[in-house]
């Protein structure tokens, strides 16, 4: 049985649980996720942080159900962390005791710095690499900040600003200016920080990003690694802060979030206003992934190996049986790229995406051989989620979709144009992948041909017949000013 | 390593190879398929059936490449059969010797009756059950007929009618009436046969079905088990027979088939004209699947066990890890169906589809947990291919797509309306599946609640909190005149 680990996160607003399965040394997938909006801190902030009886009972019921789910997956261990709401609660011992005594669940209350660090290692390891970014995780009771530079994390700060907290202390009494003053005062702790990007973690940032994506008719349905810009984001926050419930609905905010979105938007607005950096990145991962990664990567300083991508590995682990062929295809596509990319006018930077597309393009055949292209396409779109930009994901999934087929359709190219390379580059890359597959039609143990580029001709030489390869190459779309010639 | 078996089929027109993998006792999936249009019988029919040197060499090259592919998959055995072209060839020994000596490949030439039987067991086992059907497999050199009644096969007949044969003997000299006479004469062997359905096997029937589907704007992209009717099919054949190449292109026939489609269409036209049965079913399977099944089912009289579906099993084997939950969900959905279907006005016949949808709706989570619905949908559409009608596949995949979500969208329902139940029935079924999932939110080891229907209320009773279940049920779409009440 593969190693399975469950993570439970008790936040002020909701409790969440994830069951992860390790697919190899540094790769994993989610088996199950569950969330319950129990709002453990309900009415606590007006009562000196004291957790209320009903809220505690709801939370215990949800946790009890979580444990049944975890046991149904036979998880090897359960890591349960609690944050701000429990940190602040004078009666936390009572709750911890009940969880331990009645449910057998050991809850670890983590301090604000640790909470910030854990969210940040999720971002540092699972988002495309950033030079100097500030992560911000707005929770129900607190907000965490860290500086992420490449894979390094510093300045972990936790402020007692949170959506539920501000709602109960200020917004419920319509004292918005009081909230603003408190936020600005607390944010002074972030003075003298120099950053170029803001990474947004947590439900508030995700909800606003989602609304913004819909508003922009963004072609992908993926929040993680979504990139937006100061001006549009900031304008959107202003709209949210000015809207009544009807207005929020029109902006695309779900009704369950109506009562906490404004406090969250206000915190964000003040942060953006303070830093005015142009680039914003949405994170789909946070504390829970951080808790899991801190466990998974405990012997490697909370980092993946260099040049390692965990999503590529996971897809290979779960869906590619024939790894020799996958590697051979990737190797050949890189060789073909290296000798042709100048002639074909393809930017050198796309070499990596071509190689990954070659590695993963057969992954869909684990679903259905004949429709493997569409399954590879959807699988890559969804599961190639960590460490890649949306442009990279779109290019790689597009190449897989059209592998060994005609060039990407104009409908497809039109839909994703803001994320794809130029048409000529895309067709060139698509051709190189299809050509690699065609040349390996007979699946030789070792590549049994050589090739050479001269002017318009790529000449392929072999002592074998390459019968199927020739037949397959004949069926390819042709590229202008580029011919394949077999000599033997 | 799972058991892998390769099948090679040497036909008059093309050679094909498939590598199958057994996923459990009676379930399998395709790992690889390859085809080469080597046309081994080229110019043979004008030369007393003697295989020509060039054609044999092409075939040997292709077979050599097939064997490299097979060895890359580490297949345990290779079953290679040859049909009409080799049966008829005076110089077949020369070819068999070369294959054996140079490639190490043992080719088994099967007689016409065996060929017919093998195609028929593929249809009998992998198509929805038919009462009294005639299967017809039009090949390059011969055409096979069998009678399929439920799972039984009789009257295996092989006639020396084939597309390449008729092309070379008649169509190349524009002697269409001669071809027609020969066909009608041979078809006398099928006098006094009483059938209600015709099952079409092979490339000609598939090509015509595909063109007809496109012509009809059929919503599914699946040939296997496609149902059509005498009148439309017959009209389409007439159009093909009257068309020049440009006309064939407009009808949606691929250029590679231009030279053999008319002889094939003429055979079909004469057969339809003879039997005039109303129902036609397209088979995506044939000789190769028959060869594989005869091996897989060798100890069970070439039949699957009763009430067994091989595609359901394969999807479960490959994509559902948590079979206890899958079974529990299916059981609960059937229980809920049994006590509510009259009240909800759902035809009893849909009970089976609901149960299968419940079994398979989590299959997509092997691709990506969060987007499991869309992956289950596509997986079921493609991989639930054997033994189901298109209506069943559409209903089951639709239920999986909308499991635990809102009701099927009007866009979706509109697209598939010719294949789906009435809107009320569909919403009722969708609700029952979503309700089953919601009630099992906490994934209990055994179902820990009871339920009872009275008038408009389904009352759920449990000694446990069912906290997550209650929360999930609250989020469901509501059905008119139907409430869920929790009592505890």
Closest chain B C-alpha to A271 CA, distance in angstroms: 30
Interface test with A, best of B221, B376, B471 (most A CBs within 10 A): B471
Q: What is the pLDDT of residue B45?
A: 85
Taking alpha carbons only, the member of B400, B81, B130, B390 closest to residue B279 is B130
Residues of B in contact with A444 (CB under 8 A): 68
The span from the CA of A56 to the CA of A94, in Å, is 10
Cβ atoms of B66 and B8 within 8 Å: the answer is yes
Q: Which residues pair with B154 in a beta bridge?
A: B147
Cβ contact B467–A64 (<8 Å)? yes
Q: Look at residue A180 and give its three-state secondary structure.
A: helix
Interchain pair B34, A369: CB under 8 A: no
Stronger pLDDT, B478 or A403, i.e. the higher one = A403
Q: Cα–Cα distance between B484 and B451 in angstroms, integer?
A: 10
| Nearest neighbour of B369 by CB, restricted to A30, A324, A375 | A30
Dist CA A66 CA A14 (whole Å): 13
Q: For residue B2, what pLDDT is reported?
A: 66
Closest-CA residue of chain B to A20: B369
For testing the chain B interface, which of A29, A318, A443 should be mutated: the one with the most B CBs within 10 Å? A443
If we measure between CA atoms, which residue out of A87, A98, A95 comes closest to residue A45? Answer: A87
pLDDT value at A488 more than 70: no
Q: Which helix (H) or strand (E) holds A149?
A: strand A143-149
Contact A61 B465 (CB under 8 A): yes
Determine the residue among B65, B316, B373, B438 to mutate to test chain A binding: the one whose Cβ has the most chain A Cβ atoms within 10 Å: B65
What's chain A's average pLDDT? 95
CB contact under 8 A, A69 and B443: yes
* Per-residue pLDDT tens over the stretch B107-151: 999 999 999 999 999 999 999 999 999 999 999 889 999 999 988
> What's the CATH code, domain A310-486?
1.10.3210.10
Name residues whose C-beta falls within 8 Å of residue A383's C-beta, 6 or more positions apart in sequence: A29, A311, A314, A315, B367, B368
Overall pTM > 0.90: yes
CB contact under 8 A, A31 and B369: yes
State how far residue B126 is from chain A, nearest Cα, in angstroms. Answer: 16
pLDDT of the residue at B46: 86
Q: Tell me the shortest Cα–Cα distance from B455 to chain A, in angstroms.
A: 30
Q: Label residue A406 by pLDDT band (50, 70, 90).
A: confident
Count Cβ neighbours within 10 Å for each residue of B31-66 and write b for 16 or more, e otherwise. Answer: bbebbbebbbbbebbeeebbbbeebbebbbbbbbbb
The residues pairing with B487 across neighbouring beta strands, listed in sequence order, are: B461
Instruction: For chain A, give the percent of residues with pLDDT over 70.
Output: 99
Residue of B nearest to A376 (CA): B367
Residue range A113-285, CATH number: 3.30.420.150
Are A367 and B382 within 8 A, CB to CB?
yes
Question: Is there a contact between A30 and B443 if contact means CB atoms under 8 Å apart?
Answer: no
- Chain A residues touching residue B383 (CB < 8 angstroms): 367-368
Q: Which two tokens stand for residue A430?
A: 């698509």
> Which chain A positions have a beta carbon within 8 Å of B36's beta carbon?
467-468, 471
Q: Coil, strand, or helix at residue A279?
A: strand
Contact call for B467 and A58, based on CB within 8 A: yes
Low-confidence ranges of chain B (pLDDT < 50): none
Task: Give strand pairing partners of B149.
Answer: B152
* Nearest CA-CA distance, residue A285 and chain B, Å: 13
Exposure on the CB side of residue B37, measured as CA atoms within 13 A: 12
Closest-CA residue of chain A to B35: A468
* DSSP helix, strand, coil percent of chain B (3-state; round to 5): 50, 20, 30
For residue A1, name the pLDDT band (cuts at 50, 70, 90). low
Q: DSSP 3-state assignment of B208?
A: helix
Q: In chain B, which residues have their Cβ closer than 8 Å to the Cβ of A65?
A: 441-442, 465, 467-468
Do B4-109 and B113-285 agree at the fold level? yes
The topology (CATH level 3) of B4-109 is: Nucleotidyltransferase; domain 5 (3.30.420)
How large is the ipTM?
A: 0.94
Residue A22: CB atoms within 10 Å: 18
Residue A46 banded pLDDT, cuts 50, 70, 90? confident
Burial B74-107 (b: 16+ CB within 10 A, else e): ebeebbbbbbbbbbbbeebeebbebbeeebebeb
CB contact under 8 A, A379 and B367: yes
DSSP structure string for A311-375 = HHHHHHHHH-S-HHHHHHHHHHHHHHHHHHHHHHT--GGGHHHHHHHHHHTTGGGGT-STTHHHH
CA contacts within 13 A on the Cβ side of A256: 12
Beta-strand ranges (E) seen in B110-240 are 133-138, 143-149, 152-159, 197-201, 227-229
* Partner residue opposite A72 with nearest CB, options B32, B34, B325: B325
DSSP classification of residue B40: T
Size of interface A-B (CB pairs under 8 A): 116
Local structure of A121: helix, strand or coil: helix
- Please tell me which residue of chain B has the smallest CA distance to A466: B65
A325 vs A330: CA distance, rounded Å: 8
Residue B33 with chain A: CB contacts under 8 Å: 369-370
pLDDT band at A12, cuts 50/70/90? confident
Q: Listing from the earlier edge strand, what are the strands of the sheet with B457-461?
A: B450-454, B457-461, B483-487
Candidates B199, B202, B158; CA nearest to B14 is B202
Token readout for A121 is 């290692």
| Gap from A132 CA to chain B (nearest CA, Å) | 30
Task: Kindly list the residues from chain A whose CB atom is less than 8 angstroms away from the CB atom of residue B467.
Answer: 36, 58, 61-62, 64-65
Contact A368 B374 (CB under 8 A): no
The C-alpha atoms of residue A13 and residue A300 are separated, in whole angstroms, by 33
Report DSSP state, residue A478.
Answer: P
pLDDT recorded at residue B1: 54
Band of residue A480 on the pLDDT scale cut at 50, 70, 90: confident
Over the stretch A329-376, which tens digit does the pLDDT of each residue have? Answer: 999 999 999 999 999 999 999 999 999 999 999 999 999 999 999 999
Residues of A in contact with B32 (CB under 8 A): 369
The domain segmentation of chain B, as residue ranges, is 4-109, 113-285, 310-486
- The residue whose two tokens read 């290979």 is A316
Inter-chain residue contact B374 with A378, CB threshold 8 Å? yes
B28 to chain A: closest CA residue? A368
Contacts of A228 (CB under 8 A, 6+ apart): A209, A212, A280, A281, A282
Tell which residue, A373, A386, A375, A226, has the closest CA to residue A314.
A386
- Distances in whole angstroms, Cα of residue A198 to Cα of each of A157, A189, A195, A211, A233: 15, 16, 8, 18, 12
User: Do B324 and A383 make contact, defined as CB atoms within 8 angstroms?
Assistant: no
Which of A58, A369, A374 lies closest to B378 in CB terms? A374
Q: Give the one of A37, A378, A445 whose C-beta lies nearest to B375's C-beta.
A: A378
- Which residues have a Cβ under 8 Å from the Cβ of B335 and sit 6 or more positions away? B451
pLDDT, tens only, A139-168: 988 999 999 998 899 999 999 999 989 998
- Please report the pLDDT score of residue B180 as a whole number: 96
For residue B147, which of B77, B196, B86 has the smallest C-alpha distance?
Answer: B196
Q: Which residue of B has its CA nearest to A371?
A: B382
Check CB contact under 8 Å for A369 and B62: no
Q: Which of A33, A366, A471 sits opposite B318 (nearest CB)?
A: A366
Among A363, A307, A359, A362, smallest CA distance to A333 is for A359
Distance CA B384, CA B361 (A): 12
Query: What pLDDT, in 10s, does the model give residues A299-337?
Result: 999 999 999 999 999 999 999 999 999 999 999 999 999
Q: Span A420-440, mean pLDDT?
A: 97
B442 → closest Cβ in A68, A322, A370? A68
Q: Do B379 and A375 touch (CB under 8 A)?
A: yes
């Amino acid at each position: 049985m593969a190693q399975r680990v469950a993570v439970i996160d008790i936040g002020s607003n909701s409790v969440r649980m994830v069951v992860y399965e390790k697919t190899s040394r540094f790769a994993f997938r989610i088996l199950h996720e569950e969330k319950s909006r129990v709002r453990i801190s309900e009415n606590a902030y007006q009562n000196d942080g004291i957790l209320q009886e009903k809220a505690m009972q709801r939370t215990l019921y949800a946790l009890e159900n979580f444990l049944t789910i975890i046991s149904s997956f036979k998880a090897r261990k359960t890591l349960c962390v609690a944050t701000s709401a429990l940190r602040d609660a004078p009666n936390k011992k009572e709750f911890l005791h009940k969880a331990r005594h009645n449910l057998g669940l050991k809850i670890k209350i983590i301090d604000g710095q640790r909470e910030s660090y854990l969210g940040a290692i999720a971002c540092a390891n699972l988002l495309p690499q950033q030079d100097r970014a500030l992560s911000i995780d707005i929770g129900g009771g607190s907000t965490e900040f860290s500086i992420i530079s490449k894979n390094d994390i510093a300045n972990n700060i936790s402020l007692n600003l949170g959506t539920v907290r501000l709602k109960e202390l200020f917004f419920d009494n319509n004292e918005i200016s009081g909230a603003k003053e408190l936020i600005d005062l607390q944010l002074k702790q972030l003075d003298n920080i120099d950053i170029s990007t803001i990474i947004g973690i947590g439900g508030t940032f995700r909800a606003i990003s989602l609304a913004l994506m819909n508003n922009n008719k963004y072609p992908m349905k993926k929040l993680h690694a979504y990139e937006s810009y100061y001006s549009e984001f900031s304008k959107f926050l202003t709209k949210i802060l000015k809207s009544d419930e009807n207005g929020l609905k029109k902006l695309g905010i779900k009704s369950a979030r109506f009562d906490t979105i404004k406090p969250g938007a206000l915190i964000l607005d003040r942060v953006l206003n303070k830093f005015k950096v142009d680039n914003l990145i949405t994170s789909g991962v946070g504390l829970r992934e951080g808790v899991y990664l801190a466990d998974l990567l405990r012997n490697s300083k909370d980092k993946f190996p260099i040049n390692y991508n965990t999503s590529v590995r996971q897809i290979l682990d779960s869906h590619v049986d024939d790894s020799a062929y996958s590697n051979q295809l990737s190797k050949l596509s890189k060789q073909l790229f290296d000798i042709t990319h100048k002639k074909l006018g393809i930017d050198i930077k796309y070499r990596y995406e071509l190689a990954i597309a070659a590695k993963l393009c057969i992954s869909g055949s684990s679903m259905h051989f004949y429709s493997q292209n569409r399954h590879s396409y959807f699988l890559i779109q969804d599961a190639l989620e960590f460490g890649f930009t949306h442009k990279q994901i779109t290019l790689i999934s597009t190449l897989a979709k059209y592998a060994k087929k005609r060039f990407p359709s104009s409908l497809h190219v039109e839909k994703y144009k803001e994320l794809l390379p130029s048409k000529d580059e895309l067709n060139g890359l698509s051709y190189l992948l299809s050509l690699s597959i065609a040349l390996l039609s007979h699946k030789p143990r070792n590549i049994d041909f050589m090739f050479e580029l001269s002017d318009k001709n790529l000449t392929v030489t072999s002592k074998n017949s390459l019968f199927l390869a020739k037949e397959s190459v004949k069926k390819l779309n042709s590229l202008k000013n580029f011919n394949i010639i077999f000599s033997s």
